[in-house]
Chain A
Amino acid sequence: MRKPAELLPGTLDLLILKALSLGPLHGYSLLLRIEQISGGSLLVEQGALYPRLYRLEEQGLLASEWSTTESNRRARFYQLTRDGEKRLRQETESWNRVASAMSAALRARPEEV
């Protein structure tokens, strides 16, 4: 496996939103889900996750509540709010635009200039 790439700033939020769009999760499984959907190629610092989650909740993009896991333990679950869904859509579009622009620029051959 290639060495996991470090996250660009700002992308963690987008990953969290995406991961939660597939269903409500608690912090630990959210981490696992992010690793899963990124194919293991993105590195997420474990402890840094939680401050981000609190910030996103304060911004109104997530909502949290305490519940029980399958193994009957207490944990805080996060889910997307409607604002969060909207933000996910916007940020995804924006990311795709930037990415395709960057790819095109990086593919430029000398004779095209």
Chain B
Amino acid sequence: MTRLRFLLTRLFRRSQLDHEMDEELQFHISARAEALEKTGLSPAEAQRAARLEFGAMERYKEAGREELAFHVWHNLQADIRYGLRMMRKAPGFAAVAVLTLALGIGANSGMFGIVYGLLYRPLPYPDEGRIAAVHLHFSPQNNPRGNLSLADFADWKAGNTTFEQVAIYARSRFTLTGSGEAERVAGAAVTADYFSILSIKPMIGRTFQPGDDAAAAPTRVVISESLWQRRFGRADDAIGRVIEVDGNPATIIGVVRRGYDFPLPNIELWQNVRIKVTRRGPFFFQGLGRLGPGVTLERAQAETNLIGRNIERANPGVYSNMTMPVEPLRNYLVGNLRPALFTMLAFVMAVLLIATVNIANLLLARGSTRAREMAVRLSLGAGRRRLVQQLLTESVLLALAGAAAGWLLAFAGIRAFRAFNPADLPLTYQVHLDWTVLAFTIVISVAAGILFGIVPALQSARADLQTPLKEGGRSGSGAAGHHRMRSTLVVVEVAVSFVLLVSAGLLLRSFMLLQKVDVGVNVPPANVLTMVVTPKATTDPKNPSADSPVTRAFYQRAVENLGRLPGVQYAAISDSLPPDLESDDDTFSIAGRPWSDQEFPSTTLPRISPDYFRALGVPLVRGRFFTPSDTAESQPVVIISASLARRYFPHSDPIGQKIQASQPGGNTSPFMDVVGVVGDVKYWGMAMDARPAYYVPFTQNLSPTSFLVVRSSNPAAALAPIIEREIHAVDKDAVVRRLLTMEDLLSESVAEPRFRTLLLTGLGALALGLAAVGIYGVIAYSVTQRTQEIGIRMALGAQRSHVLGMVMRHGALLVAIGLGIGLLGSLAAARALSRFLFAIGPGDPLAFALGLILLACVGLAAALLPALRATRIDPLVALRYE
């Protein structure tokens, strides 16, 4: 404790302590002088003798200060102040360095946050290494992570001896109605042991226990803290309350804390599965188990495979080559991302490395301008070690400033990454900036600062004292070797930039072409509003083939009422939407024309209301649209797409032909009359050709959840509140979500290519910036080195333009060599990208030309600044240099 007090006193009352030390030593000397006086010396002589005896005061004072250990802190403070002053004096340089570092360090922080969060941060489940994900793998589906059915689970549970506990779960989104607004939440249907496998304890109430998944158990749910807060205000009496989940009453039995991303990010509700085995399928669930004590994964895997074989034998014809793969939970969640993540991490680290080399180059160039300052300080007695220490402090300061700015970049990057989450990765709670990432950031910043600062610092401190003090002069020996190395590095930077720019260019061109694709909609897309509508009285979502007259009536009334609203031209429902929202596909057969064994036509099967085509502006080619007289009782009818007509009725009129939908195991579905042919519409994504489609009226064939489509003569987004109100007037508990215009849907459809393009464009820009900085640094340094030579040339009559040309040629050479090397790399990269390219080939000349021109211009511009400075060299000043 006293130690601490000492330390604090020394930090904050340094001058007082210094003063005291002075006084103490003085006292010692005068005491000795007194003693000497008694031996006969005069007072003055005694003083002198005492002082000589004592020895070099300053040295002991310095040693004393070292013992008091505050000089370290004092020096650091002084260094930091000095460093900040130097940065203010050269703001351009500091800005470039800080910006470069911000990009490099920020990218690393963000990437580290993602890698650490996904691969290493402990999941919120204690002992996660003992938790395993279990799936089915059988032919012909051949999905290595296939789902289980209730029957499979029952068989597994019966035969299991290696897992302590087993459970199954199914991801779902539940509609909550009842106490409050209708909303959809992420959730899962789980069996009784699910919570104990994951060791999730309740905050209040309880979680599921054995018995909660019995066939006769009532519907029970566990909710998350966030849901509890939002919908019940954290009321204690929420336990036991009944809410409506998907239209059915469910009792809340417990609340668990927020923070879980499994099996869906930000999951808020768990419902009990009732295990009632009536048939082998459906295959909805995924398995989870906690390994028993001492059981290895291999043993568990062997047993599950055995169970799988037994199931196969007991159910001939259903499964073949059945295994039950077991893998650690973390592996299942993110295992296949490992190589991609590490590749990206390696890439951003390489970028940071290039950035530090760049800045080292810049510092070396600047070092020669500070040579005199260093020489003066050295001659005044500053230790070389102190000097190096101070220069390193400046470098680390730069790096830390870059890290602070980069932190913002990392934050934005992680936000963007979380928003773009196509695979339901556990991103909400696992990936975020925290102390671990901060620690990593500080470590790499300091390391980077030392890395790029050490060589320039050592070089500056090694400077000989005579030459700089004699009116300027150059420092730095071994210039030729260093220069070649720096030039090589810059050439590599240029090559890498070219590769990235060409890749970005290819993706950009491809993306722009993709956006212009015609999906078959001939109305301005902003004028069409779509939404997903689920009426309250919906059917059992696990068994969607049934349909209910209540649902049908709801949709009918909704469409009618909406069609009458002012501002609405047409309103319709459909269960599929362009460009990529296909709900169902099917095969069909034509009456009187059986297929050969090879033919297996696959078509889209939208179920629509009569005004659907009018709402989307799909043209009628032959025949008629559906009308309100096509009801459940009238003759089954069908409308086919133009491509279906072309392919299967090339020489005859399709109107009046009969088509039959398919059905597994014998066909009893009715034959439908073809009454119309319409233009092609894409339901399978913008990059693919439109598949053949046939449409049926929803009155004859309904899905429990459909899209509602509304067309207006003006941008339709403004109609959203009116439409919602109207729908709730028909059914107050209907859930309306994803109100998006067709424009939004088109944009969403290309979200992944857009992300890829943006990422690569960003990286290309980053590399370009670094290359520019690199070129600038090398050229600037070489100009400084050749100052004398340039001065001589100009004194001998060379024009400024000649000098300019000389320097620019050097820069152009670097760029040209870099481009040449980069060309090979870009061709290879383009080929690797070819599967992401739409409508253009990997040799697209426009992208290459664009990259070339951009890089050449930027490179030459970077060389221009030092070249201009070279032309302004005054030959008289230059010649005075030694």
Contact = CB atoms under 8 A, between A and B. Distances in A.
Interface of A: 26-29, 31, 45-48, 50-52, 54-55, 57-58, 60, 66, 73-76
Contacts of A66: 20
Contacts of B3: 58, 60
Given A58-B6, A58-B67, A60-B3, A50 B27 contact: no
Query: Which among B28, B57, B64 has the highest number of chain A CB atoms within 10 Å?
Result: B28
A45 B59 CA distance: 13
A28 B28 contact: yes
B20 A47 contact: no
Query: Which among A27, A29, A48, A54 has the highest number of chain B CB atoms within 10 Å?
Result: A54
A28 B31 contact: yes
Interface in B50-77: 53-57, 59-60, 63-64, 66-69
A60 B690 CA distance: 85
Given A27-B28, A74-B27, A47 B56 contact: yes
B24 interface: yes
10 contacts: A26-B27, A27-B27, A28-B28, A31-B28, A46-B28, A46-B53, A50-B28, A60-B2, A60-B3, A76-B20
A86 to B, nearest CB: 15
Nearest to A76: B24
Contacts, number: 59
B60 A47 contact: yes
A75 B64 contact: no
Contacts of B66: 51
Contacts of A51: 60, 63-64, 66-67
Interface residues of B, number: 25
A57 B60 CA distance: 17
A11 to B, nearest CB: 18
B422 to A, nearest CB: 61
A28 B32 contact: yes
Contact of A50 (B24, B31, B32, B69): B24
B548 to A, nearest CB: 85
Query: Which among A27, A45, A51 has the highest number of chain B CB atoms within 10 Å?
Result: A51
A50 B25 contact: yes
B23 interface: yes
B68 A58 contact: yes
B68 A54 contact: yes
Chain A to chain B: the 8 pairs with minimum beta-carbon distance, closest first: A47-B60, A28-B31, A54-B67, A51-B63, A51-B67, A55-B67, A28-B28, A47-B55
Interface string B523-535: 0000000000000
A59 B695 CA distance: 90
B59 A47 contact: yes
Contacts of A28: 27-28, 31-32
Contacts of A60: 2-3
B55 A45 contact: yes
Given A47-B56, A58-B68, A74-B23, 8 more contacts: A27-B27, A47-B54, A47-B60, A50-B64, A51-B64, A58-B69, A60-B2, A74-B27
Nearest to A46: B54
Contacts of B59: 47
B63 A46 contact: no
Nearest to B58: A47
Nearest to A81: B2
Interface string B1-41: 01100100000000000001101110110011000000000
A54 B70 CA distance: 12
Nearest to B53: A46
Nearest to B64: A51
Contacts of A74: 23, 27
B595 to A, nearest CB: 95
Contacts of A76: 20, 24, 27
Contacts of A45: 55
A76 to B, nearest CB: 5
Interface in B517-552: none
Contacts of B27: 26-28, 73-76
Nearest to B31: A28
B610 to A, nearest CB: 92
A44 B66 CA distance: 20
A54 to B, nearest CB: 4
Contacts of A75: 24, 27
Contact of B24 (A27, A31, A52, A55): A27
Contacts of B64: 50-51, 54
Contacts of B68: 54, 58
Nearest to B69: A58
B23 to A, nearest CB: 7
A32 to B, nearest CB: 9
A45 to B, nearest CB: 7
A46 B20 CA distance: 18
A47 B63 CA distance: 10
A95 to B, nearest CB: 23
A111 B471 CA distance: 77
Contacts of A58: 3, 6, 67-69
Nearest to B60: A47
A46 B67 contact: no
A60 B57 CA distance: 26
Given A28-B32, A58-B67, A46 B55 contact: yes
Query: Which among A50, A55, A60 has the highest number of chain B CB atoms within 10 Å?
Result: A50
Contacts of A31: 28
Nearest to B57: A47
A28 B28 CA distance: 5
Contacts of B32: 28, 46
A47 to B, nearest CB: 4
Contacts of B57: 47
B60 to A, nearest CB: 4
A26 to B, nearest CB: 7
Nearest to A66: B20
B153 to A, nearest CB: 68
A70 to B, nearest CB: 12
Contacts of A29: 31
A74 B66 CA distance: 24
A74 B25 CA distance: 12
Contacts of A47: 25, 54-57, 59-60, 63
B675 to A, nearest CB: 99
A25 to B, nearest CB: 12
A60 B1 CA distance: 10
A75 B28 CA distance: 9
Contacts of A52: 67
Interface in B210-244: none
Nearest to B34: A71
Nearest to A55: B67
A30 to B, nearest CB: 10
Query: Which among B3, B32, B67 has the highest number of chain A CB atoms within 10 Å?
Result: B67
Contacts of B63: 47-48, 51
B872 to A, nearest CB: 55
A62 B54 CA distance: 23
Nearest to B55: A47
A68 B60 CA distance: 24
A51 B62 CA distance: 9
A52 B67 CA distance: 8
A27 B55 CA distance: 16
A29 B296 CA distance: 75
Query: Which among B24, B32, B55 has the highest number of chain A CB atoms within 10 Å?
Result: B24
Contacts of B20: 66, 76
Contacts of B60: 47-48, 50-51
Interface string B473-510: 00000000000000000000000000000000000000
Nearest to B7: A58
Interface string B449-467: 0000000000000000000
